[in-house]
Amino acid sequence: MTWFKRKDKGILTPTEAKKEVPDGLWFKSPGGKIVHTRELKDNCYVVPDENYHVRIGSKEYFEILFDDNKFTELDADLTSADPLHFVDSKPYPQRIVASQKKTGLKDAVRSAVGKSNGRDLVVSCMDFSYIGGSMGSVVGEKIARAIDYSLKHKIPFLMISRSGGARMMEAGFSLMQMAKTSAKLALLNEAGIPYISLLTDPTTGGVTASFAMLGDFNIAEPGALIGFAGPRVIRETIGKDLPKGFQSAEFVLEHGFLDFIVDRRNLKSKITLLLGMLS
């Protein structure tokens, strides 16, 4: 016998009185685990037990890395122009405005300076939510200016990459950013200022072919997709099946392109340790 039985029939709850779970209160991992977003945040956005690293952006990385989430953002108001008057399904300027409104970001990278475990650190972090983290002129310029800040103030530089590659709406202007950022990093190297590159899921295309692989230490998060062309493109090009786990961080580490893989929950302490070794 049930412990509760409704005796009165026809009882209706007004719409305005109904209780609903707010959007984003729970997160479901690819493995099916349901996690409260507060617990996820407290665990550096890593799903407990599964160790699945949820894709996050600059806001979350700055919270993790900077002491008390205190930092000064650099070149915050730079936005893209439309040098090629590019139009696909919509004009490029309209796509920029729509992306800015949707994400609250000016472009696909943010740079900031602050302290991490008491050490000065300049961080540039890419946001995949903004046009797939694509690298356009603003991305290259903001990274270059962040490196200039590191050079001027002799502060270590951390680059957090998450990108689908070059931004097709800027064509050759986008590809030029590969050379520009690489040249700036060469100056950083000559000055003996540490540069750490963190590759997250996914890091592909021109980003992988330039600044993402030029660190004094190249490190990655577990399970991150890292490569130039995507697995499907490579498979169709060579006409063969690819090895298991191809282009995963673990596969790339095994083949010598990474120094080590770091759990996001240990990221801040690992960065501090590396800076101590390089200083």
- The three-class DSSP label of residue 83 is coil
Q: Report the candidate in 194, 198, 195 with the shortest Cα–Cα distance to residue 267.
A: 198
Count the Cβ atoms, other than its own, within 10 Å of residue 39: 12
pLDDT in tens, 99-152: 999 999 999 999 999 999 999 999 999 999 999 999 999 999 999 999 999 999
Q: What is the pLDDT of residue 230?
A: 78
Long-range own/partner contacts, residues 55-59 (CB < 8 A, 24 or more apart)? 55/128, 55/162, 55/200, 55/201, 57/105, 57/125, 57/127, 57/128, 57/129, 57/162, 58/105, 58/109, 58/110, 58/112, 58/125, 58/126, 58/127, 58/160
Q: For residue 56, what are the contacts with CB-CB under 8 A and spacing of at least 6? A: 45
Q: What is the pLDDT of residue 23?
A: 52
DSSP 252-274: HHHTTS-SEE--GGGHHHHHHHH
pTM, whole model, 2 decimals? Answer: 0.89
pLDDT in tens, 139-157: 999 999 999 999 999 999 9
- Is residue 214 within 8 Å of 195, Cβ to Cβ? yes
CA distance 250 to 260: 9
Tokens of 173: 């202007």
Q: What is the pLDDT of residue 9?
A: 52
Cα 140 to Cα 14, 79, 176, distances in angstroms: 54, 12, 8
- The three-class DSSP label of residue 231 is helix
Tokens of 55: 């894709």
- The three-class DSSP label of residue 226 is strand
Q: Which residues of the chain have pLDDT under 50?
A: 1, 11-13, 15-22
Q: What is the pLDDT of residue 129?
A: 96
Q: For residue 169, what are the contacts with CB-CB under 8 A and spacing of at least 6? A: 84, 86, 88, 92, 95, 136
CA distance 279 to 275: 6
CA distance 115 to 268: 11
